[in-house]
Amino acid sequence: MDTDRAARYAVAPYTSPFLAIYDLWVIRLSNSFAWRCAAETMLSLYDEHLGRRHLEVGPGSGWYLANTTAASEQITLMDLNPTPMEFTSRRLADRDTTVDTVIGSVLEPVPASAGTQYDSIGMNFVLHCAPGGLDDKGIAFTHLGRILADDGVLFGSTILNRRPRTRFGRALSFAYRRIGAFNNDADDRAGLERALRESFRHFQIAEVGDVTLFRARRPRREVQP
């Protein structure tokens, strides 16, 4: 399966019915009991780093954006699948925030319509869905770094190819790989570090349960995608 087709296949399950149960299934049950990383741990990244202009890659149900204590004047949602963006836009409709959407893939340069100079960029549970190994899909950091402000921060989370410690996690990993939702067979910490180092001058990686959290600053402007 070619990369573009695999990328679209990975986001296809994000239908309206699935997003209606996303908070329960992914945010609450899977995060806590399969991956052993409570949603509040990932939410703290938003509380700490959400900026005035924010780009959210792969917004899912928009739970993190809806529950963070931080305020943002303008949020742009980017996804290959318009359904999660529509769902999240409705969820944020009552907030004093301008919400824009753009169809795009992190494996390709960010569309010009998204703009530049973002104060923050979030990408939770995106990399392990993207096809290829980190030597290939790590290009996402270069693409996103090019639209991040000099003093901005990119943050997110992913699930690497370590064997999950819970039966629930192992069952989910097996099932998600079978249906093409997970493409993380070749994803390891060394590859993540290498990809971040190639695109940013400063980065941090932390592991909580089976989830790997990361944040990065000072994009390398000399890197060409």
Residue whose entry in the numeric block shows the structure tokens 């600053």: 217
Model pLDDT for residues 124-141, shown as the tens digit of each residue: 999 999 999 999 999 999
Q: Are 14 and 81 in contact (CB under 8 A)?
A: yes
Model pLDDT for residues 49-66, shown as the tens digit of each residue: 999 999 999 999 999 999
| Within-domain flag for 224 | no
Q: Which domain holds residue 65?
A: 3-219
Average model confidence (pLDDT) across the chain: 93
Model pLDDT for residues 184-206, shown as the tens digit of each residue: 999 999 999 999 999 999 999 99
Report strand pairing: 118-124 vs 53-57: parallel
Residue whose entry in the numeric block shows the structure tokens 């824009």: 100
Dmax (CA) for the chain in angstroms is 44
Q: Is 43 helix (H, G, I), strand (E, B) or coil?
A: helix
Quote the DSSP letter at residue 42: H
Phi, psi of 196 (to 5 degrees): -65, -40
| Within-domain flag for 149 | yes
For the entire predicted model, the pTM comes to: 0.94
| Within-domain flag for 225 | no
In angstroms, what CA-CA distances link 92 with 24, 44, 61, 82, 183? 18, 19, 10, 15, 30
Report strand pairing: 74-79 vs 148-158: unpaired
The enclosing domain of 24 has a CATH number of: 3.40.50.150
Model pLDDT for residues 206-219, shown as the tens digit of each residue: 999 999 999 999 99
